[in-house]
Amino acid sequence: RKEVEQDPGPFNVPEGATVAFNCTYSNSASQSFFWYRQDCRKEPKLLMSVYSSGNEDGRFTAQLNRASQYISLLIRDSKLSDSATYLCVVIGQGGSEKLVFGKGTKLTVNP
C-alpha cells in the first residue's frame, strides 16, 4: 500500500457544484495533515491544515478520520477559480518528519 493515496480524478464539475476529495494514509502514527493546491506549472501552496476536530474555511471543509486513516476535502459552491490540482500531504509517516505527498487530484470547474 502506498504511503499516501488520493482519488485519481480528474473531476469535472459545473460551477456551483459541491465536490469532495479523499486521501488515505498508511501509517497510523502520522501526525499532521494538510491540503495543498497547485495551479498549472506553479508551485504547491497551502490550502488548509486538517485537524482532528475538522475545520472549515469559507467554502472549504477538511476532515480527518484517524480510525479509518483518511482525510477529506469538501468544496462547496465551486468557482471557476477553484480549478487546480489538490494535493494531500501527510507528515510523520514512519516516525519521520518528512512531508509525503499524494499524487494529487485535478479539478476542473466548468462554466
- Can you tell me which of 13, 69, 76, 103 binds other proteins, judged by CB under 8 A? 103
Using CB under 8 A as the binding rule, whether residue 68 contacts other proteins is answered as: no
Cα–Cα distances (Å) from 25 to 3, 5, 28, 34, 108, in that order, read 5, 6, 8, 12, 25
Please work out the total of residues on this chain that contact other proteins, with binding judged by CB under 8 A.
22
For other proteins, give the closer residue by CB, 42 or 59.
42
Cα–Cα distances (Å) from 11 to 25, 32, 58, 82, in that order, read 21, 26, 21, 12
Rounded to whole angstroms, how far apart are CA atoms 94 and 1? 14
- Can you tell me which of 64, 73, 84, 89 binds other proteins, judged by CB under 8 A? 89
Look-up of cell digits 465536490: 19
For other proteins, give the closer residue by CB, 76 or 106.
106
Using CB under 8 A as the binding rule, whether residue 42 contacts other proteins is answered as: yes
Is residue 3 a contact partner of residue 93, using CB atoms and an 8 Å limit? yes
Using CB under 8 A as the binding rule, whether residue 98 contacts other proteins is answered as: yes
The residue ranges that bind other proteins (CB under 8 A) are: 31-32, 34, 42-46, 49, 87, 89, 91-92, 96-104
